[in-house]
Chain A
Amino acid sequence: MARYGMLIDTTKCIGCYACRTACQRQNSLLPDEAFIRYEQREVGSYPDVNVENVPLQCMHCEDAPCAQVCPTGAAHMGADGIVEVDQGRCIGCLYCMAACPYQVRVRNSETGAVDKCRFCTVSAEESGTKMCSCVEACPTGARLFGDLDDPDSQIVAEIARTKAAPIAGDLTKSKVFYVR
């Protein structure tokens, strides 16, 4: 069993939205349904000022608040540590959207069910892509996907090298790590 995670280097992110559009195409999402959202803020002080772009998506939390509150078990911890939403079980009560601290869950305006980043598991296997579509689409190489339990993986080495950490500390034991 793997324990998949992602590394996002915000110092490389230029806020081009390529990851979001690639994700929408790969997963056949509706135009108003995006699994990645962005927060921006100014960092530093004059004259050394910059804009930090932070792409946010499902953090695949080990302590997932969405799965805790989901009354039907649609939101659940799936294989390999990937938090999944069983579209056939979701009633669209939106309780998971209220519980998610990252506000990265979206309602499909056609089905009414809630969805979010899937770490492109199924689609990646089907289309033979090695990585999630967002990782492959990023023009600056800001993203990396891999097995957090594999000590030889590139992601483990990069997290150690860059001292990356979850965006909100140990709030939910997130598996998406950020370099900031």
Chain B
Amino acid sequence: MMFEPIWGVVIACYLFLAGLGGGAFAASTYMRLRTPKCVHLIRYGRIIAPVTVIIGLVLLMFDATAGFHHPLRFALLLTNFGSVMTWGVVFLGAFTIVSLIVLIMDLLGKGLKIPVWLDVAGAVLGICVCVYTGCLLGVAKTFPLWNNALLPVLFLVSAVSTGMAAILLVGIFRAPHEFHLSGAFKKFHFFLPIFELFLVACLLFITANSAEAAGWASVMNLVAGDDAVAFWLMFVLAGLVMPTILEWKMLFMSTKEVEESKTGHMVSAASDVLVLVGGFTLRLLVLVAAMPITIVQPWV
């Protein structure tokens, strides 16, 4: 029997954008505490966060057809606190409110007056959003690829990585002088794809050896089946390996002049775009490659 994935591109976009937004806010808070001079980069993070999350939420509402036709039903989302999705709505709602307050204060020129606790609260909520995108899938016992504790961690790391990449990408073009000052931030960002590679390898090994045959089938979809080209080329090579090589060249192997040259900027920008491509591909592949457990006959 052929299995049609339940969620597709729209939900992959939502998971990607929600993670990116949460990660970008957490990253901008980190930058505020670590390199407060980078006011523009911090602001870009604060702009990216609510914008991407709101776009994601609109996509989600659009995909939930029955609710889209009857929008009042969305109020019912807060009725079952046993559901991870209900918790996600709480986190997303609170995060959107906090990130919008912070953004408005920043745009009104009160950036320095934003209390640290508000930024930290937004960052914690942002991280909750990132983890939620993994837990949302993680609690579905039907899919061994999802139903494990590694997925939320992988999604969190990927989300922070994409959030940082989005800030840096804008920063390269809009505030290059600050981009040069954010060395610690860039080094942190450099290590995330490496950590992600390690987490993906763990996820695949554990899932392939799951008690359910569907675990093996899902991993085979990724590494040698229908999704293998996207997995190896777009996710592993473009999304993880290439950014690692490019950033390594820029951060550790190049002189300051090269790093701050036009070419250096382009290499960094390319690396950040690749991180974003990889982040989206990861969400999409995790959604479409997962196979449900066998009842009588294995799904294909």
Contact B7 A99, beta carbon cutoff 8 Å? no
Contact A93 B64, beta carbon cutoff 8 Å? yes
Contact A101 B6, beta carbon cutoff 8 Å? no
A101 to B60, CA, bound (A): 23
A114 to B161, CA, bound (A): 35
Contact A94 B296, beta carbon cutoff 8 Å? no
Query: Which residues of B have CB within 8 Å of A168?
Result: 295
Least Cβ distance of B133 to chain A in Å?
Answer: 13
A93 to B77, CA, bound (A): 10
Which of A68, A101, A114: most chain B Cβ within 10 A?
Answer: A101
| Chain B window 133-148, contacts with chain A (Cβ cutoff 8 Å), 1 for yes, 0 for no | 0001101111100000
Query: Which residues of B have CB within 8 Å of A101?
Result: 141-142, 292-293, 295
Contact B85 A95, beta carbon cutoff 8 Å? yes
Contact A91 B67, beta carbon cutoff 8 Å? yes
A68 to B141, CA, bound (A): 12
Query: Which residues of B have CB within 8 Å of A91?
Result: 64, 66-67, 70, 73-74, 76-77
Contact B68 A112, beta carbon cutoff 8 Å? yes
| Chain B window 50-80, contacts with chain A (Cβ cutoff 8 Å), 1 for yes, 0 for no | 0000000000100111111110011011011
A76 to B6, CA, bound (A): 21
Interface residues on B, range: 35 or more
Contact A98 B66, beta carbon cutoff 8 Å? no
Question: Cβ of A40 < 8 Å from any Cβ of B?
Answer: yes
Question: Cβ of B210 < 8 Å from any Cβ of A?
Answer: no
Number of interface residues of A (CB under 8 A): 36
Residue of A nearest to B292 (CB): A103
A91 to B136, CA, bound (A): 16
Contact B296 A167, beta carbon cutoff 8 Å? yes
A54 to B69, CA, bound (A): 36
Least Cβ distance of B106 to chain A in Å?
Answer: 32
Contact B83 A94, beta carbon cutoff 8 Å? no
Query: Which residues of A have CB within 8 Å of B82?
Result: 68
| Chain B window 1-19, contacts with chain A (Cβ cutoff 8 Å), 1 for yes, 0 for no | 1010011000000000000
Question: Cβ of B84 < 8 Å from any Cβ of A?
Answer: yes
Query: Which residues of B have CB within 8 Å of A167?
Result: 295-296
A101 to B142, CA, bound (A): 5
Of B60, B73, B142, the contact of A100 (CB 8 Å cutoff): B142
Residue of A nearest to B212 (CB): A101
Contact B85 A71, beta carbon cutoff 8 Å? yes
Query: Which residues of A have CB within 8 Å of B140?
Result: 65, 69, 98-99
| Chain B window 97-113, contacts with chain A (Cβ cutoff 8 Å), 1 for yes, 0 for no | 00000000000000000
Query: Which residues of A have CB within 8 Å of B137?
Result: 98
Query: Which residues of A have CB within 8 Å of B295?
Result: 39, 54, 56, 101-103, 167-168
Contact A112 B69, beta carbon cutoff 8 Å? yes
Question: Cβ of B89 < 8 Å from any Cβ of A?
Answer: yes
A71-B66 CB under 8 A given contacts A39-B295, A99-B142? no
Question: Cβ of B182 < 8 Å from any Cβ of A?
Answer: no
Query: Which residues of B have CB within 8 Å of A71?
Result: 76-77, 79-80, 83, 85-86, 89
A93-B85 CB under 8 A given contacts A69-B139, A98-B142, A101-B292? yes
On A, residues with C-beta under 8 Å from B are 39-41, 52, 54, 56, 65, 68-74, 88-95, 97-103, 107, 111-114, 167-168
12 contacts between A and B (CB under 8 A): A39-B1, A52-B296, A65-B142, A68-B82, A69-B84, A93-B67, A94-B7, A98-B137, A100-B142, A112-B66, A113-B65, A167-B296
